[in-house]
């Protein structure tokens, strides 16, 4: 029997996301970033996102290894170290965002309502989180159709840009209308008090997770600033 | 009855929020897709990245504004950006984007401004210029942290050389404004050619 995943409250996930964002900007050494990634892998695995956790962690370790190789230092114009530096830190942030993007939109909306965030901001952000994981698929479908028709060409960049962008806009419009209709059907614009089938409560596990996240971040910063230098 | 319906239609609906959210994601992803590879080439990241993002994202911004065509669209788009900067631990950039939200929305004041391509382009130029200055603010006010973040000294020196020179800054901003204007021009043609003709936009 499969063990049920740990349920983490949206607000705790948001706090972890912000923490990782700040950490990615503060950490200087790649080893400490990889250490933070290890924590995020455990965090993702605890929520049953095993594949994503392991893939992102291995990607991070590979980038850190490439940066450690001699000869990849930045040279005036070509700066591979800056690129790898950015990708490594962005991967850490993506790991934190992944857990949020995989949440049911209804739960995010309910959490935002509990946070008393104005609907003018809560609704677009909810739709953003719902849409973000599908963007890659949208572009892939459009590129596949263009490739099949032989319309992908580097010799006509503007035409390729037009042929790519117009279907993406059209598909996104249809998707946004469908998502809005679905939300309307569930009574999202009802001015009354909204109820949710899901329990939106900051539980002990969320407090424990935040404590661990802050503790691990402090360890990473300590290693980064005092042990590595 | 009719007047109450008209009054209702000026407010942003759930459908409008969905459009703003989804097109904001597309613009953010497009910006990341251009900015990250640009980091590996210094002059590209300094001079081409921002104008290119302004050019490529313009049709998405124009479509979003025309589709919603209600007051507050630009404001909410910029506020979303400000929230992202706030979460990312750069509250100074969030404050900077609040100013962008106010100015971008101010450019859209007046009757039917949300349906005029020229006004939308002006608003987009404002948003793009604010985005182009992000890197400069990092260097001007947080240069120690920037250097301490692990970037090579060679890269830092080059960036400082350009970001502390008024003519170079003006050139970067000018290129961004040109990129956003050209993007607005191309967007106008694309919107008329595809979406106005098919009546997806009115």
**β-strand partners of A75:** A78
Q: Are residues A95 and A37 in the same domain?
A: yes
Q: Which residue has the higher pLDDT, A215 or B44?
A: A215
pLDDT recorded at residue B186: 95
How confident is the model over A34-53, as pLDDT tens digits?
A: 999 999 999 999 999 999 99
Find the domain containing A56 and state its range: 1-104+199-229
Q: How far is B23 from chain A (nearest CA, A)?
A: 8
Same domain, A132 and A23: no
The answer to whether residues A210 and A123 belong to one domain is: no
Q: What distance in Å separates the CA atoms of residue B201 and residue A73, rounded to the nearest whole number? A: 50
Pairwise CB contact (< 8 Å): A123 & B17: yes
* Tokens standing for residue A169: 């806009």
Same domain membership, residue A98 and residue A1: yes
* Domain contains A88: yes
Within 8 A of A177 by CB-CB distance, chain B residues are 15, 18
Average pLDDT (A91-95) is: 92
Domain that holds residue B102: 2-196
Chain segment A49-90, per-residue pLDDT in tens: 999 999 999 999 998 888 777 654 544 455 667 778 888 888
CB within 8 Å: A79 and B59: no
**For A200-204, B65-69, B129-133, B171-175, which range has the lowest pLDDT when averaged over its residues?**
A200-204
Residues A19 and A61 grouped into a single domain:
yes
Say which residues have a Cβ less than 8 Å from residue A38's Cβ, sequence separation at least 6. Answer: A57
Is A110 a member of any domain?
no
Q: How far is CA A183 from CA A105, A127, A176, B18, B149, in A?
A: 9, 10, 10, 10, 42
Residues A133 and A178 in one domain: yes
For chain B positions 85-114, those within 8 Å of chain A (CB to CB) are: 87-90
Are residues A100 and A55 located together in one domain of the fold?
A: yes
In a domain, residue A84? The reply is: yes
Residue A209 lies in a domain: yes
Domain match, A10 and A98 both: yes
Facing B14 at nearest CB: one of A78, A168, A180: A180
Q: In chain B, how many domains are there?
A: 1
How confident is residue A195, by pLDDT bands cut at 50, 70 and 90? confident
Do both A183 and A227 map to the same domain? Answer: no
Instruction: Give ipTM to 2 decimals.
Output: 0.86
**For A158-163, what is the mean pLDDT?**
89
% of chain B at pLDDT higher than 70: 91
Interface contact B19, partner A, CB < 8 A: yes
pLDDT over threshold 70, residue B145? no
Of B56, B60, B83, Cβ closest to residue A169: B60
Q: Is residue B160 part of a domain?
A: yes
Which among A22, A27, A124 is the nearest to B21, CB-wise? A124
B2: pLDDT strictly greater than 50: no
Please state the three-class secondary structure of A54-115 as a single string.
HHHHHHHHHHHHHHHCCCCCCECCECHHHHHHHHHHHHHHHHHHHHHHCCCHHHHHHHHHHC
Rounded percentage of chain A residues whose pLDDT exceeds 90: 39
- List beta partners, residue A78: A75, B41
Task: Tell me what the mean pLDDT of segment B95-113 comes to.
Answer: 91
Is A159 found in the same domain as A225? Answer: no
Do A185 and A225 belong to one domain?
A: no
Say if the Cβ atoms of B83 and A73 lie within 8 Å. Answer: no
Q: For residue A80, what pLDDT is reported? A: 66
Listed by number, the residues of chain B in 140-159 with a beta carbon closer than 8 Å to a beta carbon of chain A are 145, 148-152, 154-155, 158
Tally the domains of chain A: 2
pLDDT of residue A60: 93
What was the pLDDT predicted at A183?
86
For position A131, what pLDDT does the model report?
87
Chain B neighbors of A101, CB-CB under 8 A = none
> What phi and psi, each to the nearest 5 degrees, are found at residue A78?
-85, 125
Residue A205 lies in a domain: yes
Arithmetic mean of pLDDT over chain A: 86
Compute the nearest-CA separation of B178 from chain A (Å). Answer: 17
A111 domain residue, yes or no? no
Residue A173, min C-alpha distance to chain B (Å): 7
Claim to verify: residue A140 and residue A159 sit in the same structural domain = yes
- A169 → closest Cβ in B12, B63, B148: B63
């Amino acid at each position: 029997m499969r063990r049920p995943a740990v349920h983490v409250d949206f607000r705790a996930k948001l706090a972890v996301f912000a923490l990782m964002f700040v950490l990615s900007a503060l950490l200087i050494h790649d080893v400490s970033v990889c250490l933070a990634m290890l924590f995020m892998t455990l965090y993702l695995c605890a929520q049953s996102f095993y594949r994503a956790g392991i893939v992102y962690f291995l990607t991070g370790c590979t980038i850190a290894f490439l940066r450690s190789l001699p000869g990849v230092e930045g040279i005036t114009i070509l700066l591979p170290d800056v690129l790898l530096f950015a990708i490594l830190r962005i991967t850490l942030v993506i790991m934190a965002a992944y857990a949020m993007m995989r949440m049911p939109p209804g739960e995010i909306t309910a959490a935002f309502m509990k946070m008393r965030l104005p609907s003018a901001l809560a609704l677009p952000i909810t739709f953003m989180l719902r849409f973000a994981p599908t963007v890659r698929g949208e572009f892939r479908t459009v590129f596949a159709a263009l490739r099949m028709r032989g319309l992908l060409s580097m010799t006509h960049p503007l035409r390729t840009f037009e042929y790519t962008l117009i279907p993406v806009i059209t598909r996104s419009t249809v998707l946004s209308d469908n998502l809005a209709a679905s939300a309307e059907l569930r009574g999202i614009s009802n001015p009354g008090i909204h109820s949710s089938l899901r329990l939106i409560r900051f539980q002990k596990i969320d407090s424990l997770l935040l404590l661990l996240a802050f503790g691990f971040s402090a360890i990473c910063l300590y290693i980064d600033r005092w042990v590595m230098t | 009855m009719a007047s109450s319906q008209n009054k209702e239609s000026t407010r942003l609906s759930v459908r409008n929020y969905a459009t703003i959210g989804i097109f904001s994601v597309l613009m953010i992803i497009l910006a990341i897709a251009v900015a990250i590879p640009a980091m590996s080439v210094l002059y590209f990241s300094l001079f081409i990245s921002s104008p290119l993002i302004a050019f490529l994202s313009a049709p998405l911004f124009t479509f979003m504004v025309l589709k919603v065509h209600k007051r507050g669209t630009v404001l909410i788009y910029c506020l979303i950006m400000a929230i992202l900067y706030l979460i990312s631990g750069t509250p100074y950039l969030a404050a900077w984007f609040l100013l962008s939200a106010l100015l971008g929305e101010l450019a859209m004041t007046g009757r039917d401004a949300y349906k005029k391509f020229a006004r939308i382009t002006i608003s987009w130029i404002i948003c793009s210029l604010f985005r182009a200055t992000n890197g400069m603010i990092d260097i001007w006010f947080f240069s120690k942290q920037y250097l301490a973040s692990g970037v090579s000294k060679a890269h830092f020196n080059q960036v400082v050389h350009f970001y502390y020179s008024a003519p170079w800054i003006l050139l970067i901003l000018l290129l961004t404004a040109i990129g956003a204007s050209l993007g607005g021009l191309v967007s106008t043609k694309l919107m008329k050619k595809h979406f106005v003709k098919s009546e997806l936009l009115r």
